[in-house]
């Protein structure tokens, strides 16, 4: 059966022209499923993993249907959990907003109120906002939501995780009673189900992809390492990959590791809540543009990281639980692309790591650090084994090879030949450490 085109879904011609000009010809599954219903004005409840094309799925119908807003009285509201996600949504909306002759503003904290207030005073049609800053502007009289008749709640599950749902409910209660409400989430149970029962009317439900949040198609590796060699292992993974996100537990740890990686010859930059919004934006821009090879992030900052083409994720510090592991790991292996996830496990972390593997449905096996395994063989995908509901770990091995690379937005990544250290360059500086599996990750001999 031939895949539908955007025109087949009822997308206006002036939008399909813009999409085609940006190399976007074929709808992703979540777009094909939800766009016709949203264009028709139905409330939509969508479940799809991060990186599956949700933004265009709600941007196209909203911009096709939204009317003009008055000063201080917008007609459409998109709620997002983080500054970075709000900014990303605005950038994707900009593809179509000009063609639709619609005005928009992104409202989030960490930046000056003045430009946001000025745009609201002149009048916008669409507001893309984080709950906290929007609530401040409502309280100060800069914006009224009583004429908002199109609402999108994006990543509702993360809104719940971050404690934003009470504020989200207060804001939604201020919007028009007859609004269209579109809600997207990686999971639809718990607090998200309560939200949809309260604010959606007879929603049409569409579910795409795995029920496991952010599982992706990545291969998962657990490496036994010594504490003193973790930086070298991380540098080797970054060197062997096009782009890598590395997770640490604390802000200080992120700053320290970024400096250590730089001294290993790896271009790295830290992103966390202690950085200004300008610094965070620059870090993401430099990473997405290929000017740095490694983004060192804390969990909170990572909630706003939505970058296509991330090749690897490194858990430098262990995640708090399997949900945090899934969220971190979901930065790679998105939209059908392949990716690698590496957990660096020290001796005193082995038991907790086995429990985590068991809850994720992984085999519970560990391996020596071998860089070539990341892109050639080894590791396993989530779902290779049944997910257990108890905490008792099991042992075993195995796994099979993952899927091919893909993606809807194929942007050229500018890489300068002098910017990245040569293959194995990070390893050579540390080759005297440790033995097999305890020093910098070794590469398999091609004749083996």
Which of 190, 409, 181, 441 shows the shortest CA–CA distance to 309? 409
State the residue range of the domain holding 259: 219-396+415-428
Q: Looking at residue 359, what is its pLDDT?
A: 85
pLDDT at 313 over 80: yes
Q: Looking at residue 147, what is its pLDDT?
A: 98
pLDDT in tens, 324-381: 888 888 888 766 677 899 999 999 999 999 999 888 888 778 888 888 777 665 666 6
Residue 348 lies inside a defined structural domain of this protein: yes
For residues 448 and 392, what is the distance between their CA atoms, to the nearest angstrom? 36
Where helices occur in 74-214 by DSSP H, the ranges are 83-100, 114-122, 131-139, 156-161, 165-173, 190-199
- On whether the CB atoms of residues 211 and 419 are closer than 8 A, the answer is no
Residue 1 lies inside a defined structural domain of this protein: no
For residues 94 and 4, what is the distance between their CA atoms, to the nearest angstrom? 24
Residue 279 lies inside a defined structural domain of this protein: yes
Q: How confident is the model at residue 405 (pLDDT cuts 50, 70, 90)?
A: very low
Phi-psi sector, 240: left (phi>0), alpha (psi -120 to 50), beta = alpha
pTM (global) more than 0.75:
no
Domain final residue, candidates 207, 236, 264: 207
Strands 244-247 and 180-185: unpaired
Q: Looking at residue 52, what is its pLDDT?
A: 78
Q: How confident is the model at residue 1 (pLDDT cuts 50, 70, 90)?
A: low
Mean pLDDT of 72-77: 98
Kindly report the CA angle at 329 between 353 and 266, in degrees rounded to 5?
100
Do 266 and 341 reside in the same domain of the chain?
A: yes
The residues, any chain, with a CB within 8 Å of residue 177's CB and separated by 6 or more, are: none
- On whether the CB atoms of residues 277 and 56 are closer than 8 A, the answer is no
Residue 433 lies inside a defined structural domain of this protein: no
- On whether the CB atoms of residues 316 and 257 are closer than 8 A, the answer is yes
CA distances from 410 to 25, 91, 149, 226, 405 (A): 12, 16, 34, 38, 11
Q: Looking at residue 383, what is its pLDDT?
A: 55
> Which of 168-172, 200-204, 295-299 bottoms out in mean pLDDT, i.e. has the lowest?
295-299
Mean pLDDT of 40-66: 91
pLDDT at 263 over 80: yes
pLDDT at 211 over 70: no
Percent of the chain predicted with pLDDT > 90:
55
Residue 384 lies inside a defined structural domain of this protein: yes
- Is 363 strand, coil or helix? coil
Residue 446 lies inside a defined structural domain of this protein: no
Q: Looking at residue 402, what is its pLDDT?
A: 33
Domain final residue, candidates 174, 207, 240: 207
Domain final residue, candidates 207, 239, 258: 207
Residue 5 lies inside a defined structural domain of this protein: no
Report DSSP state, residue 370: B
Do 321 and 346 reside in the same domain of the chain?
A: yes
Averaged pLDDT of the chain: 82
Do 228 and 154 reside in the same domain of the chain?
A: no
Do 130 and 188 reside in the same domain of the chain?
A: yes
Q: Looking at residue 197, what is its pLDDT?
A: 93
The DSSP code sequence of 198-231 is HH-SS-EEEE-S-SSTT-TT-EEEEEE--GGGHH
Do 141 and 239 reside in the same domain of the chain?
A: no
Do 304 and 357 reside in the same domain of the chain?
A: yes
In the chain, how many H helices and how many E strands? Answer: 16, 13
Strands 104-107 and 76-79: unpaired
Domain harbouring 36, CATH code: 3.40.50.300
Do 363 and 385 reside in the same domain of the chain?
A: yes
Do 274 and 166 reside in the same domain of the chain?
A: no
For residues 221 and 242, what is the distance between their CA atoms, to the nearest angstrom? 18
Where helices occur in 11-51 by DSSP H, the ranges are 13-21, 29-39
Positions of E strands within 316-417: 340-345
Q: Which of 20-29, 42-51, 54-63, 407-416 shows the highest mean pLDDT?
A: 54-63
Which helix H or strand E contains 345, and what residues bound it?
strand 340-345
Mean pLDDT of 426-440: 38
Positions of E strands within 113-253: 126-129, 150-153, 180-185, 204-207, 219-224, 244-247
Give the CA count within 13 Å in the CB-facing half-sphere of 269. 19
Do 183 and 233 reside in the same domain of the chain?
A: no
Do 320 and 367 reside in the same domain of the chain?
A: yes
- On whether the CB atoms of residues 331 and 305 are closer than 8 A, the answer is yes
Number of structural domains the chain divides into: 2
Is the model more confident about 210 or about 142? 142
Residue 405 lies inside a defined structural domain of this protein: no
- On whether the CB atoms of residues 410 and 239 are closer than 8 A, the answer is no
For residues 374 and 340, what is the distance between their CA atoms, to the nearest angstrom? 6
- On whether the CB atoms of residues 422 and 349 are closer than 8 A, the answer is no
Do 174 and 230 reside in the same domain of the chain?
A: no
Do 391 and 297 reside in the same domain of the chain?
A: yes
Where helices occur in 370-418 by DSSP H, the ranges are none
pLDDT in tens, 106-159: 999 988 999 999 999 999 999 999 999 999 999 999 999 999 999 999 989 888
């Amino acid at each position: 059966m031939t895949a539908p085109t955007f025109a087949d879904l009822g997308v206006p011609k002036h939008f399909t022209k813009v999409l085609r000009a940006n190399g976007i010809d074929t709808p992703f599954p979540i777009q094909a499923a939800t766009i016709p219903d949203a264009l028709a004005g139905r409330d939509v409840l969508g479940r799809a993993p991060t990186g599956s094309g949700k933004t265009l799925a709600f941007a196209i119908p909203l911009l096709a249907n939204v009317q003009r807003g008055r000063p201080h009285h917008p007609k459409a509201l998109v709620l997002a959990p983080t500054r970075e996600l709000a900014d990303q949504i605005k950038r994707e909306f900009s593809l179509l907003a000009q063609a639709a002759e619609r005005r928009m503003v992104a409202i989030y904290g960490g930046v000056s109120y003045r430009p946001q207030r000025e745009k609201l005073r002149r009048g916008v049609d669409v507001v893309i906002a984080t709950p906290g800053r929007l609530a401040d502007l409502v309280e100060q009289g800069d914006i009224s939501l009583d004429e908002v008749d199109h609402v999108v709640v994006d990543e509702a599950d993360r809104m719940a995780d971050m404690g934003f749902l009470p504020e989200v409910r207060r804001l939604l209660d201020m919007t028009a009673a007859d609004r269209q409400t579109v809600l997207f989430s990686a999971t639809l149970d718990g607090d998200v189900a309560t939200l949809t029962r309260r604010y959606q009317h007879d929603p049409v439900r569409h579910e795409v992809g795995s029920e496991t949040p952010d599982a992706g198609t990545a291969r998962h590796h657990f490496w036994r390492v010594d504490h003193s060699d973790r930086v070298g292992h991380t540098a080797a993974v970054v060197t062997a990959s096009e782009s890598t996100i590395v997770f640490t537990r604390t802000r200080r740890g992120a700053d320290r590791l970024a400096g250590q990686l730089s001294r290993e010859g790896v271009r790295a930059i830290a992103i966390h809540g202690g950085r200004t919004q300008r610094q965070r934006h620059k870090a993401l821009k430099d990473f997405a543009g290929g000017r740095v090879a490694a983004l060192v992030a804390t969990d909170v900052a990572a909630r706003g990281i939505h970058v296509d083409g991330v090749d690897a994720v490194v858990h430098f510090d262990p995640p708090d639980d399997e949900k945090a592991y899934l969220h971190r790991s979901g930065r790679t292996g998105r939209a059908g692309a392949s990716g690698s996830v590496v957990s660096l496990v020290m001796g005193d972390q082995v038991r907790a790591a086995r429990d985590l593997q068991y809850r994720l449905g992984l085999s519970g096996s560990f391996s020596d650090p071998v860089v070539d395994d990341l892109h050639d063989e080894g590791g396993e995908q989530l779902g290779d084994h049944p997910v257990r509901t108890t905490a008792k770990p099991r042992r075993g091995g195995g796994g099979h090879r993952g899927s091919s690379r893909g993606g809807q937005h194929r942007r050229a990544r500018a890489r300068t030949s002098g910017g990245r250290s040569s293959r194995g360059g990070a390893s050579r500086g540390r080759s005297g450490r440790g033995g097999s599996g305890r020093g910098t990750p070794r590469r398999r001999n091609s004749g083996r």
